[in-house]
Amino acid sequence: MVQPKGAQGTTAPKAMRDALHKVILDEGEAGAAKRFGMNRTTLMRVVAGFPVREGTLASVRDRLEKAAT
């Protein structure tokens, strides 16, 4: 994915974006935001494949793994 000039951060892998999208479809934006402890805008940036901070991706990955077990 081509990042816009000046964009900082890392884009989430497709599998992570798809898993997060499923959670949002199942629980709604507000429910997913509460579950992940993040605002809806941040979650939408991850799903859309926009660059986010490494720590944000780590947090999303951790919450998705906990949800799967």
Once rounded to an integer, what is the mean pLDDT over residues 11-39? 95
Whether 68 shows a pLDDT value over 70: the answer reads yes
pLDDT at 26: 95
- pLDDT at position 2: 57
Residues 6+ apart with CB under 8 A from 47: 12, 17, 20, 21, 24
Q: pLDDT class for 5, splitting at 50, 70, 90?
A: low
CA distance 53 to 69: 25
